[in-house]
Amino acid sequence: MQSDDEPELVDVSSQRDARAMYYCALYIFCSHIGGGGMQTVGVRDLVNRASALLDELEQGGQPIIVTRRGQPIAVLSAIDAEGFYDYVLAHAPEFVRGRQEADDAIARGELGVPLADVLAELDAEDRGDRRSA
């Protein structure tokens, strides 16, 4: 039980999520009224206009919010080659898992293989590949 001088504990994450959802909804509403901001498109409209919408993105357009029955479900955004590789490295399960395993090993004090050893092994493999070619 809390005493009167202790602050009440509040689940900040749920308040932050609710606040974020409120501001996103407000932004979408205002962009419809004012004609500016991010474009929203329903799923059916996306299917019918996919090529044109992707062309807009490619030409430097703003991200597009995709909605289903008025609820946002996805965001379409342009991406270049560098951004694509960054996204894959940050989100692909095998890379995320590998990164987490490496972080856990470092936390346990397991520092792995020295970089010089890895580079030497790669050099040896390169020299071996050239001889067999």
> Is the pTM for the entire model greater than 0.75?
no
pLDDT at 10 > cutoff 50: no
Tokens (6 digits) for 6? 């202790």
> 91-101, pLDDT tens digit by residue?
888 888 888 88
Give the start-to-end residue ranges of the domains of the chain: 12-76, 81-132
State the CATH class of domain 12-76: alpha beta
Q: Strand ranges (DSSP E) for the chain? A: 39-42, 64-68, 71-76
Percent over 70 (pLDDT), the chain: 68
> 18-77, pLDDT tens digit by residue?
666 666 666 666 555 555 567 889 999 999 999 999 998 888 878 888 989 888 888 898
Residue among 73, 66, 68, 69 nearest 50 (CA) = 66
CA distance 38 to 22: 16
User: What's the longest Cα–Cα distance across the chain?
Assistant: 79
The four Cα atoms 33, 34, 39, 44 give a dihedral, to 10 degrees, of: 30
Alpha carbons within 13 A on the beta-carbon side of 97: 3
pLDDT at 109 > cutoff 80: yes
Looking at every residue in the chain, the average pLDDT score rounds to 78
CA distance 72 to 22: 12
pLDDT at 108 > cutoff 70: yes
Question: Do residues 40 and 31 touch, judged by C-beta distance below 8 A?
Answer: yes
Cβ neighbours of residue 89 closer than 8 Å, sequence gap 6 or more: 95
